Amino acid sequence: MPLISQEEIVHFENAIYLPMVLIVLERDRLLFEKGSFKLNRPYLELVEGAIRHVQQELKETKVHMRKHHMKMFKGARDDTFTEFVFFHGGYEDHRRYLNVRLRNRVEELLRMYLAMANREMR
């Protein structure tokens, strides 16, 4: 039996991925604001809608983690892996994530949040 449940791992992983998604969206918003688009408002509205969804989910994740005394730290990083250390229930769990996996998951989440914002705009 794992020391930290899979349910809690989901919250730890949200704490990893959601800030990365926010960084991408914030950078993209700047590009749309400064870019030479004929009509940039639809793009900005889409990105800002996605940002709102990510911020809300990240807030819920942080509240859950604080309430359940969960902590996470970024460990060692190299060209291939990034390590994260999870603390919960008296246990310490070191997990290494492939950097490619991190990027691919952020891309998946980006698509999901943009789709959510798009549905909201209709």
- The rounded mean pLDDT for the chain is 94
Residue 2's pLDDT is 61
pLDDT(14) > 70: yes
CA-based radius of gyration for the chain? 17
Residue 121 Cα distances to 45, 49, 53, 55, 79, angstroms: 8, 8, 13, 18, 39
Closest Cα to residue 60, out of 22, 18, 20, 25?
18
Give the tens place of pLDDT for each residue, 55-113: 999 999 999 999 999 999 999 999 999 999 999 989 999 999 999 999 999 999 999 99
Tell me 39's DSSP state: S
Q: Is the pTM of this model over 0.85?
A: yes
Reading the block at residue 78, the tokens are 């190299």
pLDDT(1) > 70: no
- The model's confidence at residue 37, banded by pLDDT at 50, 70 and 90, is confident
Share of the chain above pLDDT 70, in %: 98
By the 8 A CB rule, do 24 and 86 touch? no
pLDDT(38) > 90: no
